[in-house]
Structure 1
Amino acid sequence: MLKRSPHFISSLRRPKKIGIKVAISTLALSTAFALSACSSSKDTSPEVEQSVGLAVDAPRVMVLDPGSGDRQLLKYKDITAAEEAAAQEVMINISEGFAQTVVDAAAVDPQAPAGGDVTTIHLPVTASTKAAEFSDQETVSASRDISVTVGDPTISDTSQAADANSAEGFALGIRATDSGQHTTLSFAAPVDSTEPGRMLMEQNLLTFTSLPIVFPTEEVGVGAQWSVDSRVTGEATLLQTVTYTITEITGDNVNVDVEVSQRPSIGALEITGDNAEESSEQLTVLNSNTTSVGSLSIDLNQPLPTSGQVSWTTRVIYGGANEQVRVVQDATSSVSFGDEQSQISH
């Protein structure tokens, strides 16, 4: 039993080698919603293709503790009246890794490890915000239209360096509310980028956008804690809960601790063998656990965090007909802001 390829349940991973363009295009056509391509104001910016919009499901935000002291309604103030708004420049470092093992049931450790082997991409980005135009295609109306343009990226896996470099100028558009909720994402690749380069950028930017900082719509103070429940869609859908805790508020600057928890949205997986004569088998999710650590600094006058890092590893344990063995998958991700390198061990 369980003699299939070591990657036979790789479909539970977020897309690593499969681009997201097809899924996004399909959704955009079904909603008849497409955003214009994002572009930098610099004349030397690479030409990008027409962007395609991806609707974002509304998360559930729940206040667990309103905090103490002077409470206030936190919301972004990054829209300026100036014709040429000042752009934010920051380095986004995104790390991802995946490991899968088949082990004896008695030897399984249900606790997710603190990190793992990862590939890290460093994206120097320029971000700016303008007032969002009204769209009748959105369930929740966006008030902010954020444009993020990627500069010259670098990546720790040198075999992917050429593809990563071809995606310089990749544009990400984020329509969002004042509280930080994303309503629509759009992606526009440079016309000269390679297909692997586009997929690499899509994959990593989706990891980045999977952690939006959404503030509650009620007043909170230092010590406040709230959860944001959402679906993270890749090759399979994960249910994700991000818990934020305010550690400091100074003017428009807010510091938060961040905790991430993920679990599969389905309880079982049907697998088939490499040969047609092999019977199918069902693997059942027996346990899932996430280890995470993180803190971020936010300037409410800027669209992106100014510094900080959030890292998490989710372990999912599967069991099949052979009760003596277990399939263990560990997916590690990290997103940090600033010039510092990723702190996850390589």
Structure 2
Amino acid sequence: MLSSSHLPRFARSSVLLVVLAVGLSAFGVACSDDAEAPAATEGTEPLGIGKEVTVPISASAATLVEPGAEPREVLRPHFVVGTDQRVTLRTDHRIEQQINDQPRRDFSTPALTIPMTAETSSEGVDLVIGAVSTPDPLLNKALTAADGSHAGFDFSDDGAITALRLAPSPDTSNAARAALEQAFYQAVYRSIMFPDEPVGEGAVWTVHQEVTGGVTLDQVTTATLTERDGDRLTIQLNVTQTPKSAQWSLPNNAGTLDIEDYVMQGTGTITVDLGLPLPVAGSITVGGHQAYRDPRSASMLQQTITTQVSWAE
């Protein structure tokens, strides 16, 4: 079978569409913030089949910009082992894509609502997933087998997530596994860590993190501590993503596209409790648009993407 680089020029846009449909619909990770996770494409399986899989998360670094008002204190999570927390994670990921003058196509993944129980351990937090729901009736039915699945986060002392652990129930289908994995990856890369210096209300710090995938991104999250009530912190977030390369490597070794335009940014507010492992409230939305050109033909790919992650107790 000919690779896309050897196909006639008139056929390349159709090949690009097929390649991108695989990469986007299977895991929604082709570019932007969704380069955060490995793609579950044809011929591969989602993570966590038959056993728990631990996935390292790229390192992040916090830099203090403004210490804020007195009194100031070094902020650090202080989980007591065995602490229980019930939270609901909701994710909504929208992708629209157009190649040349073809009609726009929707590769969005269904929104998920994931209730879970978290219990802190000496290394992080262990999660038991409850009855996951989605507006998509077929996926909703598939997700019934995921009830009781396990997951978890490992944390550093400054609150950064260093690893994601996934262990779906054995009867969970590939489609349901992939949907859960995508949701947890989105949550991981919308989390926050704290600087080493003492801070008070009004403090501002930035968190730099490399997001790897077909397009390697430099993600910068600017955090502002808008309110503190004991251990409960309200933090305003502003996220920007910038490609570290001028090219995007397509899934399945299908070649590269030149990055013509790339804008991804977002804002939100979360509420965290230093004595609890997961956010207790809040939402953050990141979105934007990209344009890519096939250097071997006249094909142009344009995408509009929006991802929302929210938490509630």
Q: Same fold (TM over 0.5)?
A: yes
1:244 deviates by 1.0
Residue in 1 that maps onto 2:185: 206
Question: Where does residue 62 of structure 1 map in the other structure?
Answer: 63
Report the Cα distance in structure 2 between the residues aligned to 1:270 and 1:22, rounded to whole angstroms.
20
8 A contact 2:68–2:199 mirrored in 1: yes
Gaps of 5+ in 1: 26-47, 105-115, 133-144, 273-279, 340-346
CA 1:318/1:233 → structure 2, altered by over 3 Å: closer, same or farther?
Answer: same
Bigger proportion of residues as helix = 2
Secondary structure of the structure 2 residue equivalent to 1:288: strand
The one-letter amino acid of 1:316's match is: Q
In the alignment, which residue of structure 2 is the partner of 1:258?
Answer: 237
CA distance in 1, matches of 2:241, 2:177: 26
| Fraction of identical pairs, as percent | 24
Once the two structures are TM-superposed, the CA of residue 199 in structure 1 deviates from its matched residue by: 1.6
Residue 130, structure 1, aligned to residue 121, structure 2: yes
Q: By how many angstroms is 1:233 displaced?
A: 3.8
SS of the residue corresponding to residue 332 of structure 1 reads strand
Unaligned runs of 5+ in 2: 1-8, 24-29, 102-106
Identify if the C-alpha distance between structure 1 residues 49 and 327 changes in structure 2 by more than 3 Å, giving closer, same or farther: closer
Aligned-pair CA distance for 1:17: 5.3
Report if aligned partners of 2:110, 2:134 keep a CA contact under 8 Å in 1: yes
**Cα pair distance change 1:60/1:164, threshold 3 Å:** same
Q: Deviations over 1:269-312 (max 9, x none)?
A: 4679xxxxxxx985311221124120001111111111110111
Give per-residue Cα distances to partners, 1:290-343, cap 9 Å, x unaligned.
24120001111111111110111132222345998742112221111127xxxx
The aligned residue for residue 97 of structure 1 is 94
TM-score for both structures, normalised by structure 1: 0.72
Match of 1:3 among 13, 27, 31: 13
Distance 1:69 1:325, change over 3 A: farther
User: Which residue does 2:85 correspond to in 1?
Assistant: 88
**Does the Cα contact within 8 Å between 1:244 and 1:256 map onto a contact in 2?**
yes
CA shift digits 1:127-175 (9 cap, x unpaired): 111222xxxxxxxxxxxx2111110000122221122222112211211
Does residue 174 (structure 1) correspond to residue 146 (structure 2)? The answer is no
- Which whole-Å CA distance do the structure 2 matches of 1:307 and 1:254 have between them? 10
How many residues are treated as equivalent by the alignment?
282
TM-score of the superposition, structure 2-length normalised? 0.79
Which amino acid in structure 2 is aligned with residue 231 of structure 1? Answer: E
1:337 aligns to what?
311
Letter in 2 for 1:18: T
Matched with 2:204 is 225
Q: Which residues in structure 2 correspond to 1:156-175 (within 5 Å)?
A: 156-175=135-154
Residue 231 of structure 1 and its aligned partner are, at CA, apart by 2.5
- Give the CA deviation at 1:179: 1.4
2:126 counterpart residue number: 147
- Distance of 2:160 and 2:296 partners within structure 1: 44
